[in-house]
Structure 1
């Protein structure tokens, strides 16, 4: 039977971070039909696709499928980490034939977030007014390493402006609701990535935008950010010669409400959509297989 006319079967070979999820959500959440997800490894030879999460692969690759990949089958390499935080497990070249990641050049692209239109026409727009703020700058971080550039930026910036800090490193763990309340209460949020790489723009940006704080970003270039969100929706550390200059600009926006509110003009047209990891990844894998049956192989995975 033509795969386009029967359900596509995708086998979840390794539960991402060993966390299970419901397998019947593709149609209800993403309007993707004719998709069957399973975690039953007895279907290894029948599956149209096998989804494998990089972070869960054993260093000796001993927990990968034991069969040679059948010609009809897609082995999907799923990875949401930056290159700096991706273990270079040996022996994976020529093994996978589909890539799934946040990168724009992945076969299956699942960014951490995106902006989607909120209006169809050009009717009058109501300007967004952020909630009352009682903090100027906030940062929630758990992975705090002195060698990270984001930590160095924070330490320099904190000399000129008070930064309210939270997270395991500061012994101030926050719940999911506290996380939202904290960001909502801040005028500016440090959306600092753990490393700077092409397209590596995570929920740190999109959550701040969604919760009504202006993101101050460190990551890839401003030009790269502007492929994802409007240029007046965020402040980039690269725009300033020093952290002192950045602090002066934040104080200027703090004193001038009209200038500050310009960072929310994107809300006239868009709203934030965040990725539903890992269910969305699995469902999009299924949709990709339905539409792409041609042969390919990933000869140099880490490049």
Structure 2
């Protein structure tokens, strides 16, 4: 950002989809004080734009045709998620295609080739590299769109996205299990129980069933509202002369610390 007085009279937008652990500007108070608006993955951002876009309603592989059990695709081996997956692998089979604990060959390139592979697995580990408020990744979209049930280990604020309509019954939360063993036991049971398993995919057949007020929510506006830069233009046209300093954003990783304690006991 130029250090010139002429730039002080215009609004600046901080646009990123990286979390504070890997984006050193976000937790820096001096840097953030120069900006007027945020356009980030956070749902409480001025212009929310998370990588988790609205999943596809394409029909999943039938239960009987799912040949895989659990799939994981990670190449950044963050300590807690890697340790958790390592412990989970002691109890169930996890096919890891990324660099972390890899036991399968390299993935094909392109989502159009990866999606059918994910869809053949009953479960997908969706463990973001950091536990930061509102931080989600495209891996949640990939799992849901492919028809593989996501197993989520990340921000509790994922509830603000999944609370709408049938999506609230589409994801398994790691936080609900006191150990990797207990999660593994549950996945083993669910993976052998067609009726219980298919309840997690009912939204694929019944639709999202979003309530009317969903369209006024941050995720509703992102999924089905005006495009991002149209929102920016409309906001700027109404906020002429607005000047404010944004606070720093830090990642506390509260859930990760809890999970780390569980898996080290």
Q: Note the 1:166-245 alignment, pairs <5 A.
A: 166-169=97-100, 170=102, 172-176=106-110, 177-221=112-156, 224-229=157-162, 230-245=167-182
Q: Does 2:95 align with 1:158? A: no
Which deviations, in whole Å up to 9, do the C-alpha atoms of 1:99-140 show, x marking residues without a partner? Answer: 11111221111122244898xxxxxxxx95534311000011
Q: 2:240 aligns with which of 293, 298, 302?
A: 293
Instruction: For residue 216 of structure 1, give the secondary structure of its aligned residue in structure 2.
Output: strand
Contact 1:129 1:261 in 2 (8 A): no
Shift in Å at residue 68 of structure 1? 3.0
Give the counterpart of 2:47 among 105, 108, 129.
108
Match of 1:262 in 2: 199
Q: Measured at CA, do residues 75 and 206 of structure 1 come closer, stay the same or move farther in structure 2, by a change above 3 Å?
A: same
Give matches, 1:113-128, under 5 Å. Answer: 113-115=52-54
Q: TM-score under structure 2 normalisation?
A: 0.74
- Listed as ranges, the matches of 1:83-98 within 5 Å are 83-88=20-25, 91-98=30-37
Match of 2:213 in 1: none
C-alpha distance in 2, partners of 1:214/1:141? 17
8 Å contact 2:92–2:184 — kept in the other structure?
Answer: yes
Mapped to 1, the partners of 2:159 and 2:106 lie a distance apart of 33
Deviations along 1:206-249, one digit per CA (max 9) or x if unpaired, are 2111110000000012xx22210133110011111111111111
* Distance (whole Å) between structure 1 residues aligned to residue 30 and residue 60 of structure 2: 53
Q: Secondary structure at the match of 2:248?
A: coil
| Kept after mapping to 1: 8 A contact 2:56/2:145 | no
Question: 5+ residue gaps in structure 1?
Answer: 1-63, 119-126
Is the 1:192–1:219 Cα contact (8 Å) retained in structure 2? yes
Structure 1 residue 281: Cα displacement: 4.6
Distance 1:283 1:174, change over 3 A: farther
**1:57-72 equivalence runs, <5 A:** 64-70=1-7
1:144 lines up with 2:144 in the alignment = no
SS of 2:31's equivalent in the other structure is coil
State the alpha-carbon separation in 2 of the partners of residues 69 and 269 from structure 1.
51
Indicate conservation of the 8 Å contact 1:93/1:298, yes or no. yes
Q: Figure out how many residues of one structure are paired with residues of the other and give that number.
A: 224
Gaps of 5+ in 2: 210-218, 251-265
Deviation at 1:284, TM superposition (A): 3.9
2:257 aligned partner? none
- The 3 A distance-change label for structure 1 pair 247 and 299 is closer
Distance 1:218 1:293 in 2: 41
User: Residues 209 and 117 from structure 1, CA distance in 2 versus in 1: closer, same or farther, beyond 3 angstroms?
Assistant: closer
Q: TM-score, normalised by structure 1?
A: 0.65
Aligned partners of 2:56 and 2:144 also within 8 Å: no
